[in-house]
Amino acid sequence: MKKIKTKSAKDHIVTALREEIIAGHLKNGEELTQEGLAQMLEVSRMPVREALQTLEKEGFVVRMPNRHNKIIFPNKRQLISIFSFVKGNMLLLLNSLRDKEDFKEFVKEQQFDLKKASILSAFGEHEVTFHKRLIELLNNPYLEAMYDNVFKGYLYFALRNCGDKRYSMKLISNIMVSLNKEEEDPINKSVGAYYEYYLTEYIKRSEHV
């Protein structure tokens, strides 16, 4: 991990450790100490302690009786459950927004942006933006925070590091097309295919770390 230069570094430490855990660089069951992390990252123990508390709430570490923090990395069955949960949230989000005018405009914009992204080969950046814009359409700070917490874990890592971006953008395009149909089944299938793809790609990557 890169050394953290700023002293008020809690958020940076959370992001760095979360990334290391999801990437599989920190192994399941591995123990971390406040002292060891503070020394390695060249920061005081206070932001490290706060960062570990945040990661414990997010389910990435568990605090042990000896005050060490043990890494929690999901097994394959748990990963399937995680991606299924994220998929379910996406379906709820899409179905709650699809009748709103600003969402209809969003769908049109995305169809145009998909063509632009294909020309510029900016698939990965567009894909992350797509999810963030979708969350913003809720216009509800509480729900936005909930969805953002779901998004920024394993899915966010997979979007940036796994799979063929041209293919994943094709899957997003299929989702956009399905939203123009009245029936729910095409939406369920297109969203399911998208998350199944990233689940498969993430598992393949994690098995080779």
Burial class (CB in 10 A: 0-12, 13-18, 19+), 181: exposed
In the CATH scheme, what is the code of domain 76-207? 1.20.120
Closest CA to 95 of 155, 184, 194, 181: 184
pTM summary value: 0.84
- On average, the pLDDT of the chain sits at 87
CATH topology of domain 10-71: Arc Repressor Mutant, subunit A (1.10.10)
On the question of pLDDT at 181 being above 70, the answer is yes
127 versus 125: the higher-pLDDT residue is 127
83 versus 125: the higher-pLDDT residue is 83
On the question of pLDDT at 1 being above 80, the answer is no
Query: Please, are residues 171 and 163 in contact by the beta-carbon 8 Å criterion?
Result: no
SS3 sequence, 129-178? Answer: HHHHHHHHCCCCHHHHHHHHHHHCCHHHHHHHHCCCHHHHHHHHHHHHHH
Give the DSSP letter of residue 60.
S
Instruction: Encode 29-44: b = buried (16+ Cβ within 10 Å), e = exposed.
Output: eeebebeebbeebebe
**Model pLDDT, residue 7:** 44
pLDDT (tens digit per residue) in 3-18: 555 446 899 999 999 9
pLDDT (tens digit per residue) in 36-45: 999 998 899 9
Number of other CB atoms surrounding residue 45 within 10 Å: 13
| Annotated domain spans of the chain | 10-71, 76-207
pLDDT tier for residue 79 given thresholds of 50, 70 and 90: very high
**Model pLDDT, residue 115:** 66
